[in-house]
Amino acid sequence: MILYVCRARHRYTIDRFLPTLPPESRGVLDVLSYEQIFSTLSLPPAHLVFTDFDRLSQYELEIAATAAEQMRAANPDVRILNHPARFLQRHELLERLWHEGINPFRSARLELPLPDLAFPVFLRREGDAQGAETGLLHDRAALDLAVQDMMARGIPLRGRLAVEFCNRADADGMYRKYGAFRVGDRILPQHLQISEDWVVKSNSSHRTERHIAEEMDYILTNPHEDVLLRIMDLASADFGRIDYTVLDGKVIVFEINSNPTFPGIDKDDPRQERRRIVRDRLLAAFQRIDTPLAEGKPVTLGLPYPRSHDLPAPVKAAPPVALAIAPTAPVAETPVPPKSGQPARQATPSVSDSPTFLRRIIRNGRSLFRGR
């Protein structure tokens, strides 16, 4: 069994993939959320694929790294893909690739004094895959103005990057962005997106017959396999999707997404065959990782010290009252029948109808089960 570890609300990336697997293969891969790990402080014996590092606090990242080490100590045969202590996240990756001479561009954190940058640049968040927050900024004055605008709007600079822009259109006037999975020791091309816009996204990608044929050729030939493996090794990324382009015959890397969106196969269009090929290759790569493990008890995790913030504690007993807050209209209180000779008393909202009161009750109830 392989457990895909991600944030609970971001499991949609793999949830579109799992139902497409043949019934006999659905026991190979399952999802385990960080929330489940944090609430139980245990891990079942299984191979682990850690993802979503950019969505973890520093303390949660330390817990994930501790979990990987404790699982490996308990069962040396367990495969750990993407060790949380080693995986290079966006800024560290871009700086490493720039220093290694692989990328001709670099990034800089906005909250720190900026180095001399090659313009144009654009601004983006460090911890998500939403792309540029600005257009291209062609000089230092434009960069300073964009930063001042963010500050004036109360937008934190922390967690944001200025990234040098080095991409350029190919001879046909199009920008190309390649995406390839790594699963263990396999590089598996997923897509080739082509657009007139320098921000190349799936919804802006061209889908002409010629472009679909070009994409299929990329899928079948896997032309950049060796260099992508070396770059992923440099990033300590055993799993993920690397997004890149090719300039003057050289691979230029944009990012490595640890929790990428998997291909679905529910669309009936000219790219359906590509999706099926990618799905089958991904399944085969996961099956190579799913080697037999000796049966054993779940591994109980220890929390690193000091605790920088609270986490859900192991559930020791069911709470006495289960409360749920739903966005529905309040139920009117039944009027109290008047006493003889007195006007009817109007129903008044109970304090317990107050969302603030309910949230306080829930918070106090949780504190009963929180380890201190």
Predicted pLDDT at 149: 95
Domains and CATH numbers, the chain: 106-164 (no CATH), 175-289 (3.30.470)
pLDDT in tens, the chain (372 residues): 999 999 999 999 999 999 999 999 988 999 999 999 999 999 999 999 999 999 999 999 999 999 999 999 999 999 999 999 999 999 999 999 999 999 999 999 999 999 999 999 999 998 877 788 999 999 999 999 999 999 999 999 999 999 999 877 888 889 999 999 999 999 999 999 999 888 887 665 667 899 999 999 999 999 999 999 999 999 999 999 999 999 999 999 999 999 999 988 777 787 899 999 999 999 999 999 999 998 888 999 888 876 767 675 434 444 433 333 344 444 344 444 454 455 444 444 444 444 444 444 444 444 433 443
Q: Residue 40's closest CA among 298, 263, 352, 330?
A: 298
CA distance 281 to 266: 17
Predicted pLDDT at 356: 47
Predicted pLDDT at 372: 36
- Region of 11 (left: φ > 0; alpha: ψ -120 to 50; beta: rest) is alpha
In what helix (H) or strand (E) does residue 61 lie, and over which residues does it extend? helix 58-74
Confidence (pTM): 0.80
If you write DSSP's letter for every residue of 157-224 in order, what string do you get? -TTEEEEE------TTS-EEEEEEEEETTEEEEEEEEEESSSS--GGG----HHHHHHHHHHHHH-TT
Residue 50: is it exposed, middle or buried by C-beta count within 10 angstroms (0-12/13-18/19+)?
buried
